[in-house]
Amino acid sequence: MKIFPAIDIKDKKCVRLVRGDFNNKTEYKLSPVDQAGKYKDLGFKNLHIVDLDGALTGETVNLDIINEIVNKFDFKIEVGGGVRTTDSIKQYTNIGVEKVILGSAAIKDKNFLKEACQKFPNKIALGLDAKDGYLAVSGWKENSKQLTLDYLKGVNDFGVSRLIYTDINRDGMKQSPNFEETSKIAGVSNCPVIISGGVSSIDDIKKAKDLTNKNIEGIIVGKAIYDGDIKLDELAREIDA
């Protein structure tokens, strides 16, 4: 089970949103680079980064910060947030990011996803962010009117290397992830799935581990770390446990 501590970057700071609401955000003291260093010191191997400025603008706004993290620490990093062009994907792969997450752009244009998978084999992760069964796009401000499972079935053979499923209703709420829905998604997906949204305690990590034989590769932990609900040393003990 891969554990992905999360770093969400906005205005050069680490922040966390509640249900993706930019008006409901908490800023944290440590810089993104210092936060990454903290994770590295404790033995974490994977990192989930979201460029929230990028999600709003469609540009790789925080490329310099992400580049510094890549160069300074030996992480396997997945990055998302406003990746809408082949050039943006190339910018991230060129600096050594392991997986580039496509969200809104892939949902609005399946051909973009297909071409990205062909041009960047084993580098593309698909971020499916759902609310009440429907995919949300554009920083979660817009309902795509597409059912998550219907969309997934339509792109399942494109060659996506990882799928990140987030239940928006749970994100930042610390009410436990939607394990049931994630398991359904994993049952349909041709690639391994990462659990995202709502992790509240170490018990959620342990529950996720029980699902590793069901095409579930890992779990993202964000707000619960920053708010101290999950102690980092306790979480680190679960890396190879």
Looking at the annotation, which residues are catalytic? 8, 129
Separation of alpha carbons 231 and 224, rounded Å: 9
The contacts of residue 7 (CB under 8 Å, 6+ apart) are 14, 32, 35, 36, 47, 48, 49, 50, 69
Alpha-carbon 10 to chain mean position: 15
Q: What angle do CA 239, 20, 217 make, to 5 degrees?
A: 25
Count the Cβ atoms, other than its own, within 10 Å of residue 109: 13
> Which residue, chain included where needed, has tokens 């469609």?
58
Tokens at 71, concatenated: 């160069």
Task: Judge whether 113 and 124 are in contact, CB under 8 Å.
Answer: yes
Count the Cβ atoms, other than its own, within 10 Å of residue 220: 23
Tokens at 165, concatenated: 């499923």
Residue-by-residue DSSP string for 180-191: HHHHHHHHH-SS
Separation of alpha carbons 58 and 51, rounded Å: 10
